[in-house]
């Protein structure tokens, strides 16, 4: 048995007395902690005595009463205020709130150092401290056995749940369960977590109590490379000590780092596989079997493309897809990110959701059926991406009937290039000229002669001559919007199928 608030007060050497809340004298004190922060309950565990010189005590009577009520609601053992220090006058509203909440409100003499109270609590709680140390040793022994026996993170967390007599969840800041196969918290809990994080601008204290159910669920930050939280839901009223939970959070962090390393290794292998397929360096049958190792089947495989800009570009995109159980292979080519995924497992919806409202996504047409058609699917996805961006639509599937100016097949795209740009390409080839290149720069500069000439490092008159030749060879005018649009889309099609 440890020490109570009343026993601390009864020790004449501590010179501490009740100001209010004497009915809570039997409250146990697990630890005595000095804290001057505005919300001290975010840095203390249940049954800990808060000691303060008064910097964090509000001045207004209503605020003082609310301060006491919040401390009591969070399970703090009591509040000891240093006498004649920095506290404002303690109002009747504060004293009445302490009596109403049966919350010990104490005054400690000016000459008594806080460490004296802490030592008194330590001496009285040596047995509890020994038990906590034993629990910590047992916990790390479970970690050791898990490593020796090859248990995965879900099995290890189940072992830790038994040691803490609590339900444990490991989630990212958006509420996604990090370890595959692990239990998911209740929706009401996740909703409260989202609200709390938004109110704190995604910054968490040492422990955050979520009160959607009794007893409260504790949210403890996990010191891992990616943002993660350990949610601890006690099975009974006994709340695990914060010091022990922080050790558990460290163990969980190690498991997250292992998972992150495994996923990064898998991402690199997948990127190399997709690149080998696009470059024709791997046999079709071998490619199909390798894709299946990543959970992908050609009969369901589609390609998605998006630009490396906006909220979708994250270094942990592959991990976030894996968090949601989306089988995929990801490859970055220049400013474009290509993602191969199964069309029938909501993977595309997840990708678009992760993209955010500002990103455009292009998707290839029907499933590729065979790895040899993946290169064509990439071209389709890129053409669809260009169409999505020009039409200001979040997602465009290649071949959509309402997707403007987009060829329905790669062969049709090639035909468009031959029909519109064929004479220019032939002229450039026969005369070692740069009409197509000059036309592209001219249109990219919104038909500004000066900017286009500077980009091409030629005189303005040289560019004027070249554009006259473009008009003569193609039969299209560069001051006609319809002709310019046709030339522009033909250039985009050529870029993507080249």
Domain spans in the chain, listed from the N-terminal domain onward: 3-124, 127-258, 282-397, 410-497
What is the crossing angle of helices 242-278 and 374-391, to 10°?
110
- Do 169 and 185 form a contact (C-beta atoms < 8 A)? yes
Bridge-based pairing state of the strands 301-307 and 228-234? unpaired
Residue that has been written with the tokens 């064929």 in this structure: 422
Separation between Cα atoms, residue 238 and residue 10, nearest integer Å: 26
Into which CATH architecture does domain 127-258 fall?
2-Layer Sandwich (3.30)
Block means of pLDDT (10 residues each) for the chain, 498 residues, are: 86 94 93 93 91 95 96 95 95 96 96 92 74 74 80 88 90 90 91 90 85 85 91 86 87 92 93 92 91 90 78 67 90 87 83 80 87 87 83 81 56 80 91 92 92 92 93 91 86 74
- Please report, to the nearest 10 degrees, the dihedral formed by the alpha carbons of residues 246, 252, 258, 261 taken in order: -80
DSSP line for 423-442: HHHHHHHHHT--HHHHHHHH
What is the crossing angle of helices 410-431 and 374-391, to 10°?
90
pLDDT tens readout for residues 229-260: 999 999 887 788 888 888 899 999 999 999 99
CATH fold label, 3-124 = 3.40.1390
Instruction: Return the number of other C-beta atoms located less than 10 Å from residue 177's C-beta.
Output: 18
Please count the CA atoms within 13 angstroms of the CA of 69 that sit on its side-chain side. 11
Predicted confidence at residue 443, as pLDDT, reads 92
Bridge-based pairing state of the strands 166-172 and 105-108? unpaired
What is the crossing angle of helices 435-444 and 460-474, to 10°?
110
- How would you label 350-381 residue by residue, b for 16+ Cβ within 10 Å and e otherwise? bbbebbeeebbbbbbbebbeebebbbbbbbbb
Q: Tell me, yes or no, if the pTM score tops 0.85.
A: no
Which stretch of DSSP H or E encloses residue 20? strand 16-20
- Do 206 and 33 form a contact (C-beta atoms < 8 A)? no
Predicted confidence at residue 334, as pLDDT, reads 77
Alpha-carbon distances of 226 from 24, 144, 166, rounded to whole Å: 42, 24, 24
Residue that has been written with the tokens 């959970």 in this structure: 295
Provide the CATH number for the domain formed by 410-497 in this structure.
1.10.10.2840
Q: How many angstroms separate the most distant Cα atoms in the chain? A: 105
CATH fold label, 282-397 = Alpha-Beta Plaits (3.30.70)
Alpha-carbon distances of 472 from 83, 465, 476, rounded to whole Å: 95, 11, 7
Q: Which residues pair with 306 in a beta bridge?
A: 337
Separation between Cα atoms, residue 44 and residue 218, nearest integer Å: 12
**Omega before 88 within 30 of 0, i.e. cis:** no
Residues present in the chain in total:
498
Which of 458, 399, 405, 401 has the alpha carbon at shortest distance from 434?
458
Q: Which residues pair with 177 in a beta bridge?
A: 171
């Amino acid at each position: 048995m440890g020490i109570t608030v009343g026993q601390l007060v009864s020790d004449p050497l501590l010179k501490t007395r009740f100001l209010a809340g004497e009915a809570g004298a039997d409250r146990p004190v697990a630890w005595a902690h000095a804290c001057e922060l505005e919300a001290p309950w975010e840095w203390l565990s249940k049954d800990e005595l808060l000691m303060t010189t008064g910097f964090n005590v509000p001045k207004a009577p209503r605020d003082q009463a609310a301060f006491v009520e919040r401390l009591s609601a969070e399970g703090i053992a009591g509040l000891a205020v240093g006498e004649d220090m920095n506290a404002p006058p303690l109002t009747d509203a504060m004293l009445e709130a302490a009596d109403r909440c049966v919350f010990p409100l104490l005054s400690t003499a000016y000459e008594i150092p806080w460490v004296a109270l802490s030592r008194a609590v330590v001496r009285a709680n040596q047995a509890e401290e020994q038990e906590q140390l034993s629990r910590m040793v047992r916990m790390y022994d479970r970690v050791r056995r898990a490593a020796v026996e090859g248990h995965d993170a879900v099995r290890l967390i189940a072992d830790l749940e038994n040691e803490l007599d609590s339900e444990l969840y490991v989630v990212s800041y958006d509420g996604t369960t990090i370890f595959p196969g692990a239990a998911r918290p209740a929706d009401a809990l996740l909703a409260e977590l989202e609200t709390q994080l938004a109110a704190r601008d995604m910054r968490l204290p040492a422990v955050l109590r979520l009160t959607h159910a009794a007893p409260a669920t504790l949210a403890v930050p996990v010191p891992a490379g990616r943002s993660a939280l350990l949610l601890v839901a006690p099975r009974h009223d006994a709340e695990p000590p914060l010091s022990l939970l922080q050790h558990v959070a460290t163990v969980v962090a190690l498991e997250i780092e292992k998972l992150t390393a495994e996923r990064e290794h898998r991402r690199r292998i997948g990127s190399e596989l997709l690149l080998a397929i696009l470059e024709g360096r791997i046999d079709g049958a071998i490619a199909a079997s390798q894709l299946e190792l990543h959970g992908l089947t050609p009969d369901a495989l589609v390609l998605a493309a998006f630009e490396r800009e906006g909220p979708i570009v994250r270094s942990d995109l592959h991990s976030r897809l894996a968090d949601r159980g989306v089988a995929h292979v990801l490859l970055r080519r220049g400013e474009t990110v290509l993602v191969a995924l199964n069309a029938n497992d909501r993977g595309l919806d997840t990708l678009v959701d992760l993209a955010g409202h500002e990103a455009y996504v292009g998707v290839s047409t029907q499933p590729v059926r065979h790895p040899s058609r993946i290169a064509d699917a990439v071209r389709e996805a890129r053409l669809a991406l260009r169409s999505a961006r020009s039409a200001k639509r979040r997602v465009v599937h290649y071949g959509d009937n309402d997707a403007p100016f987009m060829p329905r097949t790669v062969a049709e795209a090639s035909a468009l290039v031959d029909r519109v740009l064929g004479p220019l390409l032939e002229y450039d080839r026969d005369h070692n000229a740069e009409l197509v290149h000059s036309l592209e720069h001219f249109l990219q500069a919104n038909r500004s002669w000066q900017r286009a000439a500077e980009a091409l490092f030629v005189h303005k008159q040289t560019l004027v001559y070249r554009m006259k030749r473009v008009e003569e060879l193609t039969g299209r005018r560069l001051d006609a919007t319809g002709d310019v649009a046709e030339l522009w889309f033909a250039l985009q099609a050529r870029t993507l199928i080249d």
